[in-house]
Amino acid sequence: MNALPGLDCDQVVELVTDLLEGALDEVTAERVHVHLAECAGCATYVEQIRATVNTLGAVTPQALSTQAQQDLVAAFRDFHRAS
């Protein structure tokens, strides 16, 4: 039995960015990996986020149309207002 306290799915979702950036401490990263080994849904989610980051990370601002750039800025500006 694992001595590390378990994480739930909501906690894993909150930690995904730090996990992918390698910013988690060793114990927390291990807790996330244990959860991912036991939860197919979260494992799929993390892989989807990883694929999205890898794909979108290759897009430069210059590759976007002016309208796309403006739409993205507006979406992020309005994000907190909708919450």
**Domains held by the chain: number:** 1
- Decide if 4 is inside a domain: no
Residue 3 lies in a domain: no
Instruction: Evaluate if residue 2 carries a pLDDT over 80.
Output: no
pLDDT band, very low/low/confident/very high, at 1 (cuts 50, 70, 90): very low
pLDDT of residue 58: 83
- 16 within a domain of the structure (yes/no): yes
* Within-domain flag for 2: no
Which tens digit of pLDDT belongs to each residue from 8-47?
A: 999 999 999 999 999 999 999 999 999 999 999 999 999 9
User: pTM for the full model?
Assistant: 0.70
**55 is in which domain, residue-wise?**
9-82
What's the rounded mean pLDDT across residues 56-74? 89
Q: Are 30 and 5 in contact (CB under 8 A)?
A: no
Q: At 62, is the pLDDT very low, low, confident or very high (cuts 50, 70, 90)?
A: confident
| 1 located within any domain | no
Flag whether 46 is in a domain. Answer: yes
Compute the half-sphere exposure of residue 14: CA atoms within 13 Å on the CB side of its CA. Answer: 6
Length of the chain: 83
